[in-house]
Structure 1
Amino acid sequence: MVYCSRCARYFVNEHALEQHQDDSSQHNICHDCDKDFATYHGLKQHWINARRHHYCQDCDEHFDDEDELEAHYEDSHFYCEPCNKLFDSAHGLHAHNRQSHHYCPDCRRLFQNANNLQHHLRSTLHAGSTVPCPGKKCKKIFVSGAALILHLESGTCPSRITREQVNRVAAKYDKQHVITNPARMIAYGESGAGQSVTTWATERAWNGDRYECFLCHREYRTLAALNQHLASPAHEEKMYRCPRGYSGCGADEQCNIRRFNSKVQDYLGDLTSNMKRLRL
């Protein structure tokens, strides 16, 4: 004879006891964990809370692993993955994301941090492109003056504008030295005129294994690659600074506030407008 203490009943053998437990509402068994609960609610709470179970309580459905459960949540429910929460409606999830996350309500996208969100909001998707390139044969339009300047400095503009030409325009029109360091603008002068120094390497840069930059000692496989490095802004005098007067830090070309601060964006817009007056 075997005894069921919860029901205070005897059974002739183990098989009869198991049959009783399966049929009785007094027994709600998790066979994976070998636990018996007095109510079905208690069993469900166990499935919800126990890490070994991957259970959707809304659908009363089990899944093989956490990935399958999350995929089910995303496909069939209004699910916030970072918070691991389900919502009754799309509106509820939308309101939660607006209050709790770095979230674009128009695109309904989450971002890892505030900077990523702001970068997205300033993209062409939201801000639109309103700053045309003044270079000849270039039809590109940019979202900001800073983006245009990066384009011009890169040397990829069809007009063949170089960083040196951008520096000359900055030196000419930045009369108040908002973004330029006057102590480092001797080569360009207040009018933007002046001559720049071009540096290049010859076969003498070969050190027996690679072509070596005599300024920073970086090594390159080809002489052309070394000269491309020397022609880049890598070793140019850093004539730009983060503007203190516009909530900047004053550092020389070390932070990105000029790309994001609205006042600095306006200033760069005025600067790039002046470029249109030149024959670029």
Structure 2
Amino acid sequence: MGSDLECRGCYKQFGSFHARSQHMDAVGHWQCDTCFVQCWDEDALNEHMNDEYHWKDDRIECEGCYSWFDTKAEAKRHMYAENHFRTYFCTSCDKGFETDNNLKQHMNSSIHRGANIACPFCKRGFATATGVTHHLETGSCPNAPSLNRETIYNEIRKRDPNHVITKKLLTYPGPGSSTVEVTNRCWNGFNYECYLCDKEFATLQAVNQHVNSPAHKQKVYHCPGRGCAKEFMSLASLFNHLESESCGAVKFESVQRNVGSFLTGRRTIGFA
């Protein structure tokens, strides 16, 4: 739309509202804000826009085209389908993102950073500290099969006397205290059911993986940021939170620089 003194149908400029209204009444140029409907007078136009919810002030405009939507959900679906997000945009990939955090995650992914953080044991490359830590905490490293969430936590706790990232607990989980084996008795007639949260799984192996995952583990880490009260069950989850920079406690690059010393070093835990 142009100025308030511009005809809504032919975009001719006028010196006053009265002159503009006279022109629009005479030629039927009262045009809808949203669609191409034109009416003979202002009352008819207002009735149309009320009936069709076509007032632009109440609608959401696509960031990439001239489409308008009645709800944010409709606009979001359209922008995802058409890659029309423009506020947060990666020019290298010609791809838009809904939020600043989503764009940051994309820029810090292997697409732009490569896989330059190596596992200290098998040398497999990862894009982020979160990736290599998850690799070790889940026991996926072929050269360090004894490492898992509990063994890594117990080593981190020894080197974190000031509780920079580990919580102060009355009792601490031991290296062998976490393995649980679910039997066929959890079959409910339809699926294998987790006895802790009632979630159902198609196979016994799947429910065993679930109960031994961090899903039901104690939260043993906390964000080191002042004012951030978030707690985490795994070191990978903590790193993922810090890498997002959502609370501003630590910069993404600082997490990447320090991950090696966290996992294999001997010095006191901290972010340099």
* TM-score normalised to structure 1 length: 0.53
The question of 1:169 aligning with 2:155 is answered yes
The answer to whether the 8 A contact 2:117-2:132 is kept is yes
Residues 211 and 177 of structure 1, relative CA distance in 2, 3 Å threshold = same
The question of 1:243 aligning with 2:224 is answered yes
Instruction: Give how far 1:274 is off.
Output: 4.3
Q: Corresponding residue for 1:133?
A: 119
Give the letter aligned to residue 260 of structure 2: T
Q: Corresponding residue for 1:275?
A: 263
Q: Corresponding residue for 2:137?
A: 153
The question of 1:217 aligning with 2:193 is answered no
Give the letter aligned to residue 134 of structure 2: L
Report 1 or 2 for greater relative contact order, CA contacts < 8 Å, sequence distance ≥ 6. 2
SS at match of 1:82: coil
Instruction: Give how far 1:132 is off.
Output: 0.9
The answer to whether the 8 A contact 2:135-2:141 is kept is yes
Q: Corresponding residue for 1:123?
A: 109
Q: Corresponding residue for 1:51?
A: 36
Residue ranges of structure 2 left out of the alignment (5+ in a row)? 1-26, 39-61, 67-85, 267-272
Task: Supply the distance in 2 between the matched residues of 1:108 and 1:225 (Cα, whole angstroms).
Answer: 39
Percent identical residues: 31
Q: Corresponding residue for 1:110?
A: 96
SS at match of 2:106: helix
The answer to whether the 8 A contact 2:109-2:128 is kept is no
SS at match of 2:211: helix
Instruction: Give how far 1:143 is off.
Output: 2.7
Q: Corresponding residue for 1:72?
A: none
Residues 184 and 227 of structure 1, relative CA distance in 2, 3 Å threshold = farther
Task: Supply the distance in 2 between the matched residues of 1:174 and 1:219 (Cα, whole angstroms).
Answer: 38
* TM-score normalised to structure 2 length: 0.54
Query: In the comparison of the two structures, how many residue pairs are matched?
Result: 190
Greater gyration radius: 1
Residue ranges of structure 1 left out of the alignment (5+ in a row)? 1-41, 54-80, 86-99, 189-193
Q: Corresponding residue for 1:198?
A: 179
Instruction: Give how far 1:166 is off.
Output: 2.7
Give the letter aligned to residue 169 of structure 1: E
Give the letter aligned to residue 225 of structure 2: R
The question of 1:257 aligning with 2:257 is answered no
Give the letter aligned to residue 104 of structure 1: C
String of CA shifts for 1:117-139, please: whole Å, max 9, x gaps: 11122123333433211133xx3
The answer to whether the 8 A contact 1:220-1:226 is kept is yes
SS at match of 2:260: helix
Task: Supply the distance in 2 between the matched residues of 1:269 and 1:184 (Cα, whole angstroms).
Answer: 32
SS at match of 1:103: strand
SS at match of 1:244: coil
Residues 208 and 276 of structure 1, relative CA distance in 2, 3 Å threshold = same
Task: Supply the distance in 2 between the matched residues of 1:129 and 1:252 (Cα, whole angstroms).
Answer: 25
Residues 210 and 142 of structure 1, relative CA distance in 2, 3 Å threshold = closer
Task: Supply the distance in 2 between the matched residues of 1:152 and 1:50 (Cα, whole angstroms).
Answer: 56
